[in-house]
């Protein structure tokens, strides 16, 4: 069956920034978002790492979409994603060890990041390589933008610093003279660096993103249960199916 292009390629690149932002509109990747958005440096590093994995895995999965059997596509996707995560993690360990230490377990956990697996299943497995590449770039930029916006608020107001430790990234380009801004606030609100503060900032930024999207004519982001999950059709069950199976099991017992 021939593939139909319903969306221009340029929109595949821009949709992930606001209209379909993976964090603020689709509410994917919440765990790494809250954990790595304490500082802008960590947010940039995480965003770049996730974008590289997302783009590379999208391209490979799209190129192999007609070869991978349907029944084993999810394990195959995970193998592809895990391979690129391993490569990225080795590069980070070799060239930016401070960032690797700061991100900790969240760097290898990109393997199970629902943004990457969700785009592989919902988009790359059904569209051309070019469209999948642009989708990966757009979603990666959207993920990075969301992280940086949240990290800016949390770092400035919560720690009283901005771009602290950025020299670990700029050292890749041979520049280590700038180490960020310090002592911006004399009495920062430390709670913003903790989990409760992270959830608060996340909610505020999400509300602003939805407001901007709605002003551009986009529908409201609504919770739709299993049907709203990008992996819903891959598990073969919907909410109604789950309830029906549960009733059958109870009757059998």
pLDDT at 63: 94
Mean pLDDT in residue range 103-109: 88
What token pair was written down for 45?
Answer: 């590093």
- Round the average pLDDT of the chain to a whole number and report it: 83
User: What ranges do the domains of the chain cover?
Assistant: 9-173+182-222, 223-253
Does residue 38 surpass a pLDDT of 70? yes
Kindly state the tokens that stand for 187.
Answer: 């009495």
For residue 135, CA distances in Å to 55, 151, 159, 229, 243 come to: 8, 24, 34, 18, 34
Task: Specify the range with the lowest mean pLDDT, choosing from 38-42, 74-78, 97-101, 203-207.
Answer: 97-101
Compute the average pLDDT of residues 59-63. 95
Report which of residues 25 and 3 the model is more confident about: 25
Distance, CA of 138 to CA of 107 (rounded, Å): 20
What's CA 10's distance to the chain center, in Å? 20
Is 245 a residue whose pLDDT tops 80? no
Q: Is the pLDDT of residue 239 over 50?
A: no
Mean pLDDT (whole number) for 202-228 = 72
Backbone phi and psi for residue 96, each to the nearest 5 degrees, phi listed first: -135, 65
The pLDDT of residue 227 is above 70: no
> What average pLDDT score do residues 39-57 get?
93
Give the confidence band of 60 by pLDDT, cuts at 50, 70, 90.
very high
Specify the higher pLDDT residue, 216 or 155. 155
pLDDT score recorded for residue 219: 65
Task: Quote the DSSP letter at residue 152.
Answer: H
The mean pLDDT value for 38-61 works out to 94
Residue carrying the six token digits 């050292």: 171
């Amino acid at each position: 069956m021939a593939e139909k292009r319903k969306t221009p390629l340029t929109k595949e690149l821009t949709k992930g920034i606001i209209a379909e932002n993976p964090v603020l509109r689709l509410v994917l990747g919440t765990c790494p978002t809250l954990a790595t958005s304490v500082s802008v440096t960590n947010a940039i590093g995480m965003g770049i790492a996730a974008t590289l994995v997302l783009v590379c895995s999208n391209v490979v999965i799209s190129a192999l979409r007609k070869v991978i059997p349907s029944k084993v596509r999810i394990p195959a996707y995970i193998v592809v994603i895990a391979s690129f995560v391993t490569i990225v993690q080795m590069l980070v360990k070799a060239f930016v060890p401070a960032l690797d230490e700061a991100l900790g377990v969240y760097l290898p956990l990109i393997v199970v990041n629902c943004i990457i697996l969700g785009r592989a299943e919902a988009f790359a497995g059904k569209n051309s390589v070019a469209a999948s590449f642009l989708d990966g770039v757009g979603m990666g930029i959207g993920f990075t933008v969301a992280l940086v916006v949240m990290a800016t608020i949390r770092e400035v107001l919560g720690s009283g610093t901005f771009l602290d430790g950025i020299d670990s990234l700029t050292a890749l380009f041979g520049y280590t003279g700038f180490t960020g801004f310090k002592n911006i606030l004399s009495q920062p609100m430390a709670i913003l660096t903790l989990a409760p503060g992270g959830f608060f900032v996340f909610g505020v930024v999400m509300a602003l993103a939805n407001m901007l999207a709605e002003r551009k004519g986009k529908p409201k982001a609504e919770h739709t249960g299993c049907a709203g999950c990008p992996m819903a059709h891959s598990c073969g069950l919907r909410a109604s199916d789950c309830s029906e199976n549960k009733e059958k099991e109870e009757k059998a017992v």
